[in-house]
Structure 1
Amino acid sequence: MTQWYYNIRTHEVEEGKQSLASELDGPFDSREDAVRAPEIIAERARKWAADDAKND
């Protein structure tokens, strides 16, 4: 199964690991999800922050 990554340095989607791991977000199951990586990651961060606030 192909995995997709979002390169945070170039802002490009990559099929498989083509760059340094420190430059990649993922893996994602689809190219479409990798394209949406910044949005997906921001939503996860908001959820984690809200969960942390509940636990304080």
Structure 2
Amino acid sequence: MGLFKDIDDADSKYYFNLKTNKVERGLVSDADHRMGPYETEEVAQAALERAQARNEEWEEDDKKWNG
């Protein structure tokens, strides 16, 4: 492990690339194009779907709150 534990850990994590719609391991692409980190490749692959489901849930909550 190097001086920067977070960076070392980041290289062993998985990320979903929003530009390519592919999972990457480590800090391969720019932060603007990635979601994560995730512990497994499978969880990273489902990241976009999970985010969309959360957004829909929050929009419904907002509608209820605003009447």
Q: Which TM-score applies when normalising by structure 1?
A: 0.81
- Please, which runs of 5 or more residues in structure 1 have no aligned partner? none
> Is 2:40 aligned against 1:24?
no
Off by >2 Å, runs of 4+ in structure 1: none
Q: RMSD between aligned alpha carbons?
A: 1.4
Gaps of 5+ in 2: 1-8
Number of residue pairs aligned between Structure 1 and Structure 2:
56
Structure with higher Rg: it is 2
Overall identity of the aligned pairs, in %: 34
